[in-house]
Structure 1
Amino acid sequence: MRSFLQRNHRLLFYLAWTILGLIQSRYTELLDDEAYYWVYSKFLDWGYFDHPPMVAVLIKIGYLIFHNELGVRLLFLLLNFLSLIVIEKLIDKKNSFLFYVIILSIAVLQLSGFVAVPDTPLIFFTALFFLCYRRFLEGTNLFYAFLLGLVTAALLYSKYHAVLIIFFVLVANIKLLSRYQTYFGGLIALLFFAPHLWWQYQHDWVSFRYHLFESNVNPYRFSFTVQYIGGQILLAGPIAGIILLPAAFLYRTKNVFERGLKFTLFGIYVFFLLSSFRGKVEANWTSPAIVPLIILSHNFLAERAQWQRWLLRQLPITMALVLIARIIVIVDIVPVKEIKQKYHGWQNWPQVMKEKTGGLPVVFGNSYQRASKYWFYSGQTTYSLNSYRERRNNYNFWPIEDSILGKPAFLLDIHNLDSFQQKMQTAIGTLGYKYDSSFVSFAKVKFITAKVYRVKQGEKLVLHCRVTMPDQYWNFIRTHPRIDAEIFLAFFNKWQWIENVPINYNIYRLSATNFYVDIYPSLPPGKYYMIFSIYSKGTFTSPHNSEKIKLIVE
């Protein structure tokens, strides 16, 4: 038996890893973001508001094979498996037993490796990028430059964080900039990534503007930095992080390739540490750092028996925690509201609600999470009407509202239950629902105006505007003379909403030609921003009907 294990340990390890992943993938309900990305796959495109398209393509392929949770996650489970294979190849003097202990000690690889999110392909293509980079260093030629460029494009298509990996590798080996093969590889990456850049250009660089200026910008709290540091230790363990992180940072690199790994590891952690002073940083944003973390910590620990013993002692505890977590996310046995809402409660009631609503389209208020999960588990076309006071998401851009404009639909929500005619008790709480014989919302109507305005306190503000909207909306407005809608301008300071000011136009006076909006903002001197919004009576909220418009009151 011992001889069999010695000969086949690698096969047995990866087989057990895959079987557990398959079970977890099939019997764990979709998480909020997974369902959201599943909706991505119904609207394949070269880009999306908040992410590149890799996640959508992978889900699309897997869902063609299995029409369930396993199908959504199938390709991600495969990439998780392949990530370990590639990382193993990147370790020169490999201690197989130590490698297994490190992998099993990083719980996130087991508990999240199968999840259909952009981090999974990002980790895989990070590992593949470093494999191609090492080949490129060993034999600098156009073939390896081409492969490196191709993988770089795939890395960028996975998540925009890929830019950090590319940057820190170049910083670690600045001599790369003196080789023409590097520029050839860069040209290949640019060529394959060009469709996404063209999509961004056509959509006014919406993703870049969102991530740079809109996403996660909050008043600084010291807890952001503390939570970030603590989160990274837990992400690298949860227990082993106190061993693996010091091991990786203490390891003295022996060549330019390892220096690239060290720079990437250090650079990613420092970049997001600094980002914590701008707003809350999600723990998973550093996910590509797992690749150099595993390699560098292995190389350090391989030469230190005492450190290996410390790592081995924590393994049973980590494995027990992982086993408990696996059971909890599959079986609804823990009476904790947060766990129930995140991992359970969507299997049955959406089909009951589908019968009650007659299969008509459903509209949720300001929740891409509930809209996406309901769509997946009911098979019913679902829309999230997003408030101008909250951040946008892809429901602001997909042609869903267009398809139900003026048609019968049901409005569903778990908030403001007094406004609903009917209610249903579900696993996620009481859900209100009401029938709308003609759903009206104008999220696709856009006010175009200057990006910045200046006005003296107490004086009139004049906005020079025009409106764009799909022809379908123009026709709907012309043929429905009794639309009850109010247009207003919402004012915000850097952190919060201040007030809404109605404007002197109704929905029927909107024109594609130029027109002027006059208002007297009652604001003290300072910097603000404004958003146009159209409220349709009977709906949950008012959508974003313009980009943010900067206002300086002098």
Structure 2
Amino acid sequence: MRRWLTDPWLAALLAVTALRLGAAALLPLSPDEAYYWVWGRDLQPGYLDHPPMVAVWIAAGTALTGDGAFGIRLLGPIGLALASLAVAGAGNALMPRLRPGRWAALLLNAMPVTNAGAVLMTPDTPLFVFWCLALWAVARLHASGDGRWWCAVGGLAGCALLSKYTAVLFGAGLVLWLLAEPTARRWWRDWRLYAGGALAALVFLPVVAWNATHGWASFAKQGGRAGAGREFGLRYVGELVAGQLGLASPILFVLCTVGAALAGHAWARRRDAAAGLLAALTLPAAALFLWQATGSRVQGNWPVVIYPAACIAAAALTALPWQRVGAVLGGVLTALMLVQAGFAPLALPRSADLTLARLGGWPDLARAAEEARLQANAAFIAAEEYGLASELALHLPAGVPVVAIGDRWDLFTLPSPPEGQGGIMLRSLRRGDGPSLWPGAAPIGEITRSRHGVEAERYRVLRVETPAGEQPAALMPRPR
């Protein structure tokens, strides 16, 4: 512990981790986080949307500290501290002469997207952590030449794949490097490379087994995104680049782009194997996301896996003064984002404030929904949107049943709601006036979700009665 306190870099990392833990406890939960909390209460080897690692992390955190925001997010800040150490170690192992590791970790920690991933618990959080740990293991493999590291690479890459399917890009980049880098081709003759690959497959096998018994639901859902909307256009490309400028911060995004390009150049011109590894883990993935954006929207969080290797390249190959300016700007933008999310000092409209749209007003909405339930003399509260149902399950008073309706709940093992009861259902006006999933739903009023008087979303209140026809429905878990 003394080393952590006497080493300025380690002390700073400890302080940042403490601040992130504080933010994790303070900030309201997003609908996706509430939904993943439901996963944690119904642990399975797979789910419709993603593999199960985020559910395991949430289950572990809530078992230790309870079903609140702090418990749900507990492992995020701790995991990001480990990821920071891994990136620092990987940078120094790959480039021992320059030793860019600590600067790479600093750049990574200054990015708003990294801090959001450290505080908000989504599948990207464990993915990012295990990606960084796998990068560190590959770096140790390259630096030491010890083939036993392949087992660590395989196990950590398998855990990344158990977090989110995007982790396949790590394996693809690694295979590209093994094929294209002359000094790495010798590993194809080493049985330990295949042992590492087998270990990764073994770790991921439960997800395959779950999909095989559930109609390949998750593979079909996520695989379908790759081919969606293939009519060529540049609208989403501009949206992707603009989003990364904001999420990574402008200067750091440019530095990472330049650093990755320079790493590719060093690999091509000087046969620098370490630079080649960084290029292989950034440039192909970046090209894939750009290609995807020519036909459909790429969510801003998807490319986050590019940044660990890109930050090492930026720290090693770009100008230090710009790195300092970029780190300061990124830190300022991160602080502004967290302050707005936690305290909302600026009364911005929903269109200009993502924190309002995703985080604002959920406890007050639950209180308004409970008042509507009591006025209607209803037995339960229901929702068609999985995030809304999950938020209600977290925030409504104990003992109030919450019912979720929709096809996805057929893949859970949650109990079905009792038949023959009357309830109310909340339905966002953003869903339009189309037919409800719940047959016979009759509107009886409206309620609003807001933060400090600024409207985030309005909901129609409808009277409903179980059973809900042929639509799958589930009785949501409640906080313990």
| CA 1:336–1:396: 2 relative to 1, 3 Å | farther
Distance 1:264 1:404 in 2: 51
Pair 1:109 & 2:117 matched? no
CA contact (8 A) 1:37 1:117 kept: yes
Name the structure 2 match of 1:479: none
Pair 1:420 & 2:434 matched? no
Q: How many residues align?
A: 430
Q: Deviations over 1:236-288 (max 9, x none)?
A: 32332222321232132564344222111001101111111231111211111
| CA 1:236–1:335: 2 relative to 1, 3 Å | closer
Structure 2, unaligned runs of 5 or more? 93-97, 180-184, 434-440, 451-455, 474-480
Name the structure 2 match of 1:54: 53
CA contact (8 A) 1:224 1:279 kept: yes
Paired residue secondary structure (1:239)? helix
Quick one: which amino acid aligns to residue 160 of structure 1?
A: Y
Q: Deviations over 1:162-213 (max 9, x none)?
A: 1111011111112233322111112222222222111111112111111222
Pair 1:345 & 2:373 matched? no
| CA 1:91–1:376: 2 relative to 1, 3 Å | same
| CA 1:408–1:19: 2 relative to 1, 3 Å | same
| CA 1:429–1:276: 2 relative to 1, 3 Å | closer
Pair 1:208 & 2:219 matched? yes
CA contact (8 A) 1:383 1:400 kept: no
Structure 1, unaligned runs of 5 or more? 302-306, 387-391, 446-554
Paired residue secondary structure (1:334)? coil
| CA 1:96–1:44: 2 relative to 1, 3 Å | closer
Name the structure 1 match of 2:405: 385
Quick one: which amino acid aligns to residue 412 of structure 1?
A: L
Name the structure 1 match of 2:300: 283
Quick one: which amino acid aligns to residue 193 of structure 2?
A: T
| CA 1:430–1:291: 2 relative to 1, 3 Å | closer
TM-fit CA distance, 1:43: 1.5
Percent identity over the alignment is 20
In the TM superposition, what are the counterparts of 1:94-493 in structure 2 within 5 Å?
Answer: 94=99, 98-99=103-104, 101-138=106-143, 143-174=148-179, 175=185, 176-213=187-224, 217-218=228-229, 219-251=231-263, 252-253=266-267, 255-301=272-318, 307-338=319-350, 339=353, 340-354=356-370, 356-357=372-373, 360-365=379-384, 367-378=385-396, 380-386=400-406, 394-399=408-413, 402-415=416-429, 419-427=442-450, 428-444=456-472
Name the structure 2 match of 1:79: 79
Q: Which has the larger share of strand?
A: 1
Distance 2:31 2:89 in 1: 34
TM-fit CA distance, 1:135: 3.3
Name the structure 2 match of 1:468: none
CA contact (8 A) 2:260 2:283 kept: no
Superposition TM-score, scaled by structure 1 size: 0.71
Paired residue secondary structure (1:420)? strand
Name the structure 1 match of 2:16: 17
Distance 2:226 2:425 in 1: 28
| CA 1:106–1:205: 2 relative to 1, 3 Å | same
Quick one: which amino acid aligns to residue 8 of structure 1?
A: D
Distance 1:294 1:267 in 2: 16
Superposition TM-score, scaled by structure 2 size: 0.81
TM-fit CA distance, 1:100: 6.0
| CA 1:99–1:141: 2 relative to 1, 3 Å | closer
Aligned alpha-carbon RMSD (Å): 2.9
Q: Relative contact order (alpha carbons < 8 A, sep ≥ 6): 1 or 2 greater?
A: 2
| CA 1:226–1:405: 2 relative to 1, 3 Å | farther
